[in-house]
Amino acid sequence: MDKLESYLESLEEVLSTSLEIPGSIKESVHQLWIDITRYGPPQLQMPSLPGVLGDFEVPPPPPPPPPPTTLQRLHWEWNWKVGAGVAGVGTGLLVGYTLYTRPRRPKTQAQQKQSSNLKQVVIILGADHPLTTPFIRSLLASESQYVIICTVPSPTHVAQVESLSPTGWIRALVLDPAKPDTIPIFLRSLSSTLSRKFPLSTKGDVYASGRDNTIQTVISFLSLPLPAPQPAPLECLDFQEAYLLHLISAHVTPLTVIQNLLPLLRSPINANHGKNKNRNIIVCLPSTSQAGIPFTSCSAMPVAATSLGLNILRREIQSAALTGKMEGMKGIRVVTLDVGSFELGSGGKSSGEEGVLGEMNAWTASEKLTYGPAFAGLLGSGRGRRPSNPDVFVRRVMCIVEGQGSWFGIGERFSVGAGALTYRLASHLPTSVLDVLLAIPHWLVGIRNRLLPSQPFVLPSPPSLSTSVPNQRRRQEDEEDDEGASSSEEVSSNYSGDVSSGVEAEEGVESSWVSLKDHEGERK
């Protein structure tokens, strides 16, 4: 018992020392009541007992619906957009159809008279070119009833061109591109022709209208001369005659005519009559002259100058239309047409060794020795390009004249005909790459000439010194006789003395050359 009592006492001491007894039970109860009123009674975490309540058990709430996916949301918006678009397009078509089918007010008598008098004029420079004949026939077959004014180099071509329209819708005027003096005469004739009534078969006073016809298109074929200039190296080119004549015909004359026609194109009559229609300036250039092919300097240099001049003219017209107040400058379009190879029916190029050698007769012996193998190998061999049908050219030009087709991404320069696009793409290559590509045919010709047992091009043998000196002496003697017959005795005697001294000197050279041979024979 004593041990049990001691154990209980020790237990009480342990409990009293380990557990703190609250100072006031009343305060503890009050704090408990405050906690219950603030936070509520404590929830006992007891395990759920499903099925105990039976029918009185409340089912759990259903899960919330998932949010709509992106595809479903876009599908709902697409239906609304499609519906709104269809409604808008349908309303626009309905309004347009109503306006189109609405009976129009008939034109007044003055408007009908003005529309019957004013006609669109197409001016063709260089109507003697073979491509102009199908183009003129296409203009005559058009529903617009164009008035065609052509230029021919001589009066003999007038009847031939005007015969294409028996009703009188064509007027041919004389303009020689090689003679710039005929330009003022052509301009006066053109001014008189624009004030006439068309067709020319109209009876009565042909100048009674008092109004001019409107110029719709000016197209130049003067830069496509037939026959084309003969290919030759730049060293052999005759700048004083052949090149100057071609430069005037293909560059100076067409740009001069266009320069004088610009005031007519921007006149108020053209601006008011064709307000929504473009007035075109079309210049046809040979496509082979763009890439700078060897031996084509005579035809390539005027083409390069003309092309640059047209680009400057186009930009000047655009700047004037944007900054100026002249309505006539708006709508003028400058178009460059690169023309390739077409089936013209006649005038084929000469090929073969005889044709090449015939063109080289005017060259000197040094020029033949330098450029002869390359010139003969390039022009005397190879196959020609298959030409295109002229109908392709007619369709393209008619699209420009009538304002059809899309201009986006094409610009103001077109390529038509066989090889035209190839030369145009080649002209945009870097110079180093283009030089390598153009040198490949000559490189192949050089390899061929090295492998052949005999050269295909026979170079002329240079004259020997022993034969050239007597020939030169005979020529000087002939000149001496001619000068002696045409001049006085004193001048003749002095001149013959000078020539005789020259002959003696030449004889001395000849004798010294012969003696040298003799000495060489003696040594042998």
What does the pLDDT profile of the chain (524 residues) look like in tens digits? Answer: 778 788 778 777 765 665 555 556 667 767 777 877 787 776 656 566 666 666 666 778 888 888 877 777 766 666 667 777 788 888 888 887 776 665 555 444 444 444 455 688 999 999 999 999 999 999 988 887 888 999 999 999 898 898 888 888 899 999 999 999 999 999 999 988 888 888 777 776 676 554 567 888 999 999 988 777 878 888 888 888 888 999 999 999 999 999 999 988 887 666 555 444 678 999 999 988 888 888 888 888 999 999 999 999 999 988 888 887 777 788 888 999 999 888 876 544 444 455 556 667 778 888 888 887 777 766 655 566 788 899 999 999 998 888 775 454 456 888 898 888 888 888 888 888 888 888 888 788 778 778 877 665 555 555 544 444 444 544 555 555 554 444 444 434 443 334 333 333 344 333 333 333 444 444 44
Return d(Cα 515, Cα 24) in angstroms, integer.
161
Task: List helix spans (H) across 142-248.
Answer: 158-162, 183-194, 244-247
Helix (H) or strand (E) holding 15: helix 2-18
Burial group, residue 194, by CB count within 10 angstroms (0-12, 13-18, 19+): buried
Read off the tokens for 423.
Answer: 């030369």
Who's near 394: CB < 8 A, 6+ residues apart?
134, 135, 138
How many Cα atoms sit within 13 Å of 342 on the Cβ side?
A: 22
Q: Omega into 199 within 30° of 0, i.e. cis?
A: yes
Return d(Cα 412, Cα 415) in angstroms, integer.
10
Return d(Cα 471, Cα 404) in angstroms, integer.
70
- The pTM assigned to this predicted structure is 0.63
Residue whose structure tokens are 């089912």 = 59
Do 207 and 195 contact (CB within 8 A), yes or no?
yes
Beta strands in 398-477 (DSSP E): 413-416
Superfamily name with CATH number, domain 116-344+387-428: NAD(P)-binding Rossmann-like Domain (3.40.50.720)
Return d(Cα 222, Cα 242) in angstroms, integer.
16
Return d(Cα 187, Cα 258) in angstroms, integer.
11
Return d(Cα 233, Cα 103) in angstroms, integer.
69
Do 261 and 218 contact (CB within 8 A), yes or no?
yes
CA distances from 26 to 23, 29, 32 (A): 9, 5, 10
Return d(Cα 262, Cα 403) in angstroms, integer.
20
Burial of 449-482, coded b for 16+ CB within 10 Å and e otherwise, reads beeeeeeebeeeeeeeeeeebeeebeebeeebee
Return d(Cα 246, Cα 299) in angstroms, integer.
8
